[in-house]
Chains A and B, each alone.
Chain A
Amino acid sequence: MIKFWNKRVKLGILTENPEFEDEIKTIQKEIKESVKKKFAGSLALRMVDSGSCNACEAECNALANPYYDLERLGIYFVASPRHADVMLLSGIMTFNMTPHVLEAYEQIPNPKWVITLGDCPIMQAPFERTFAIKAPAQEHIKITHHISGCPPSPKEIMQGLLEFLKKI
């Protein structure tokens, strides 16, 4: 246990690590304020993977690591669409996933928004259309905002969420 506390003191608080980009801090501050104003301090995201290569998911998972720690800004990934304000849609909308995506969207209570994450859902990734793909997502569902990248980095996702918050 002593070892553990030693390590903790040595590591310090990573999220406040000065060598780590100031830029992120500004984004974080703005996000926090915006979430507070528009979503009473808590914005719930439901992540739906409609056929991604898993890199977009990995970057969303990275948002929870100590460098970014999205939750302390009031943004949560929730376990059910029924708890969500926003659907964060990644992946290329495969034939097999499309009915499930639409079902999940139905389950989100109003008011609700959809943000597409990564180049896949809007058919900008290198994948070509086949019989097994139903993308672009905008043909099936109303999209409020798009975060581009293949995959977008955690920083770009945070920036994208901020743009979304400004937009609505």
Chain B
Amino acid sequence: MTPRLVEVRQQILKKNDATARALRERFRQEGTFVVSLVSSPGAGKTSLLCEILRRLGAEYRVSALVGDLATDNDARRLAATGAAVRQIVTGTVCHLEAAMVERALEGDADFEQPWRLDELDFLFIENVGNLVCPASYDLGEDLRLVLVSTTEGEDKPLKYPTIFHTADVCVLTKMDLADAAGFDRAAMLDAIGRVRPGMRVIETSVRNGAGVVELIELVARGRACGAGLQPETNFGTGL
């Protein structure tokens, strides 16, 4: 017996990609604009999302899914804003996948009804705190925000380039701590520009409210346009 090479050429994540594509199509048809947030643990996703939900919720019907390894603390913080919120417990999985989003929208048949997307203007998805793994999984979102805090080092983009390649906008968080942390703004902007030339950067703080209005305008405009915000790039859509 001699070995033979059989070409198969299959994308490893093709099932996730197909599920994500179907979700994206559904979101578009139902008019729900979907924004995901990724960052390392503790960069400020839940805090910022609470601010966004509170303010955006005054004008729009807003909802959120939050992925966490174990607790439902973040879900409770988010639900306190009045938004519709569901928790996705990922167990040992360190990232969200499109099928988890799909299941969460369906709800747990026992006590949760499927979400009516036509009744939701915005869906935010907080990913598990992790800058590596979420990069490989399309969730069907229209816009992916990558958050980096002023306290975690200016070389984050160079260490985790893939997540920056797949995100649309970079959000710098905890700007109120910039001085205390000795944050080097120019070095951070340079690092972002090197891995993702031309990437839009929004500087925020939930302590003094900086940048929150800018973010809200960004997503509101995204929803009004009904499409990706940076069609000239191909990072977010893979190859």
**Physical interaction between A and B:** no
B residues near A (Cβ < 8 Å) are none
